[in-house]
Amino acid sequence: MQLAAAMYRDGDRRRALALLTETYGLTQMFLAYQPAQDLLWRVADRALLAAQESEDPLALTCAVWFLVAAHRDSGNFDAARDLNQEGLAAIEPAMAGAGVNLRAMWGALSFELAFTAARLGEAGEAWLHWEDAARVAERLPATYYQPWTSFSRVIMAPHAVTVAVELHQGGESARQADTALSAPIPSRPRRGRHLIEVARAHHLQRDHQAVLGTLELAQHTAPETIRYNGYARRMTLELAEGPAHLQAQARELADRIGLMV
């Protein structure tokens, strides 16, 4: 893709740069689980540059979404929020005639503001931005599913679980988890990650049996997702040393996801 972007000219070059941005996004998804933070940041920065050169609003939202996640995951919450808001402002002029993909990415970036606010413990801001994203989702086709971000109608209930869990709202997270447990998410990895979030909701309620059962369901749904998820690994280790009647079952799960106990 780098070669294509270098060789083509004019409109073809801009299209190649937009595809290069997507390719960098896919690369970042892989690098996020590798001990190579320098490579991840290099890829994230190059994605933003390629998107800006492409002059494609959709490519720009893709690059911003991935870079926001990188900043938030590294604890740079102010940078994540600032970049998120700048990205929304940059694409706002294109929203009047936006197609479904760009509208979905607007919703996805709106939710990222909710996610960052939740990580900061700002409950009012978090739920306000979640509601903004939900209004966007309601206007999308019923079967639409955005491939980079999973943004869709069906993802808003799982997103509510994430917001409640990050805010440590035990009762609310449990209520949202009960509502969203069977959400028909098309992507198996994303479904597995949602189940881990449901397990986190049960963990806030100290319902150890429900935590273990949900983690086992997540492992069955997407074995690689749970193997590399830090929350799932910590909860499994805790259960393996926890209530006596759950230890054997928890240790079997630990073995399946590559943990030594």
Domain count, the chain: 1
Which residue type does 53 have? E
**Predicted confidence (pLDDT) per residue in 219-236, tens digit:** 999 999 999 999 999 999
Domain presence at residue 178: yes
What local confidence, expressed as pLDDT, does residue 171 receive?
86
Percentage with pLDDT > 90 across the chain: 91
The answer to whether 107 and 137 are in contact (CB under 8 A) is yes
Decide if 201 is inside a domain.
yes
Q: Is residue 109 part of a domain?
A: no
Range 207-234 burial, b when 16+ CB lie within 10 A, else e: bbebbbebbbbbbebbeebbbebebbbe
Supply the range of the domain harboring residue 222.
173-261
Give domain status of residue 249, yes or no.
Answer: yes
Has residue 4 got a pLDDT over 90?
yes
pLDDT band per the 50, 70, 90 thresholds, residue 89: very high
- Taking the C-alpha atoms of residue 192 and residue 182, their distance in angstroms, rounded to an integer, is 11
Q: Is residue 220 part of a domain?
A: yes
pTM of the predicted protein model: 0.94
For 144-203, the pLDDT digits (tens) are: 999 889 999 999 999 999 999 999 998 888 888 887 777 789 999 999 999 999 999 999
Backbone torsions φ then ψ of 96, nearest 5 degrees: -60, -40
pLDDT of residue 183: 79
Assigned domain for 53 exists: no
Residue 184 contacts residue 200 (beta carbons within 8 Å)? no
Express each pLDDT in 36-61 by its tens digit. 899 999 999 999 999 999 999 999 99
Average pLDDT on 110-130 reads 98
250 assigned to some structural domain: yes
Whether residue 163 is contained in a domain is answered as: no
Looking at residue 175, its pLDDT comes to 84
